Amino acid sequence: MITKLDLLNEVSEKELNELCYLEYESEERVLNDCINEALSFISSFISIPANPTPFLKDLCVKLTLIALKTKQGFPKESLNEQKNEIKNDLIRMSKGNIPTSIEDKKPPREKIRFFIHNNWSKK
């Protein structure tokens, strides 16, 4: 659903490398673990669509960054506040208030809303 490029749109490459650094694990593995953690959190509320909305991708990016920061020992209070806000958005998505996927929509059909005069009186 998201890639490293999506994360780089949110944070700088230097900051992402610092967040992914753990002493005995590769940066790719740490990043993939955090992305999978974010996806599993999202899938506990909704089924992940094949074509997600940009808002859902943004939530996944934020959850991945929260997971990375948690592994680095950031203060949990501020991270829990952010996670609760995301949780509220996911609950609204599960209720159907916020769309989760981009559907191929045809342009709306224009309805003809005028009256056609038939000149019945002249027949």
What are the pLDDT digits (tens) for 43-101? Answer: 999 999 989 999 999 999 999 999 999 999 998 898 999 999 999 999 999 998 988 88
- Class of residue 15 by CB neighbours under 10 A (exposed 0-12, middle 13-18, buried 19+): middle
Could you count the other beta carbons within 10 Å of the beta carbon of residue 69?
17
> Which residues are bridge partners to 22 per DSSP?
25
Quote the CA–CA distance of 11 and 20 in Å, as a whole number: 12
Rounded mean pLDDT of 11-20? 92
Mean pLDDT of the chain: 87
List the beta strands (DSSP E) in 50-101: none
Q: How many CA atoms lie within 13 A of 84 on its CB side?
A: 6
Backbone phi, then psi, for 104, in 5-degree steps? -70, 105
Are 32 and 69 in contact by the 8 Å Cβ rule? The answer is no
